[in-house]
Amino acid sequence: MLIKALVKKKDYLTTVNEKATLEEALKVLEDSGYRCVPILDDTGKIFRGNIYKMHIYRHKSQGGDMSLPVTYLLKNATKTIKVNSPFYRVFFNIRDLPYIAVLDEENHFYGILTHSRLLDMLSDAWNMKNGSYVLTVLSDNERGNLVKIAKIISKYANIAGCLTLDVRSGELVRRTLFTLPADVSRDTMETIVERLEKRGYVVAEIEDLQSGLTIRSDEDPHGFLDK
């Protein structure tokens, strides 16, 4: 369960009881430094929603009653995922949220998945810390392309990471990012690029992870997208 491994469990979180007042919730937020925290019921098992510092500040600045229950300003009550949810569903639910609440199999509050943890996971998948170069390879959506590209690269180096970013609507163009290991030299990288392009695959971008420089950056250097 990938989601479960990324979740920050509720025992390590700052939360607010649903019976707390807005004044009490504001103190929790100010003391913790968080911009929002989960609201839970008395049992600590039911997620009611989130309370945001900015909404309490706005309410207070407009002369609002700070003795109202925190649920008066709760948000994101339905923004949840299950701990066993498919990973892709996270991206459709988290969107602009700082985190998304995660529920267990019994719909009890399990913890939160934060934006930063999600980005860390993607960074690990890209293997940026242990890579040398990242090649962005363009291909059509023909069956077997990924295997063919990987086979070409594997003749000269291991593949430290692989990430597909998109398929353009209506054009069926796929961008696949291949991270090469740290011990791959520039000469080897250039040989790989030459072999890929000889087989008709376009290497649209090359990033040097060690120097932080972009060696090549061209959306479509050979008119591949016009085919």
Q: How confident is the model at residue 215 (pLDDT cuts 50, 70, 90)?
A: confident
Q: Is the pLDDT of residue 154 over 90?
A: yes
Q: Is the pLDDT of residue 200 over 70?
A: yes
CATH of 2-120, one of 3.40.50.300, 3.10.580.10, 3.40.47.10, 3.30.450.40: 3.10.580.10
Residues 108-128 have pLDDT tens digits of 999 999 988 888 877 776 666
Q: How far is CA 212 from CA 32, 127, 128, 129, in A?
A: 35, 14, 10, 11
Q: Is the pLDDT of residue 170 over 70?
A: no
Distance CA 139, CA 157 (A): 20
127-226 fold: Alpha-Beta Plaits (3.30.70)
Residues of the chain with CATH 3.10.580.10: 2-120
Sheet order of strands, 202-208 included: 161-167, 173-181, 131-140, 202-208, 213-217
- Top mean pLDDT of 81-90, 99-108, 127-136 is at 99-108
Please compute the mean of the pLDDT values over residues 80-96 and round it to a whole number: 82
Taken in order 133, 204, 145, 128, the sign of the CA dihedral is positive
- Pairing relationship of beta strands 16-17 and 8-9 according to DSSP bridges: unpaired
Q: What is the pLDDT of residue 165?
A: 73
Residues of the chain with CATH 3.30.70.260: 127-226
Distance CA 68, CA 71 (A): 8
Q: How far is CA 120 from CA 6, 116, 209, in A?
A: 10, 6, 16
Residues 4-44 have pLDDT tens digits of 888 999 999 999 999 999 999 999 999 999 999 999 999 99
Contact 176, 149 (CB under 8 A): yes
Q: Give me the phi and psi of 99, to 5 degrees please.
A: -160, 165
Contact 176, 139 (CB under 8 A): yes
Nearest Cα to 102, choosing from 1, 7, 2? Answer: 7
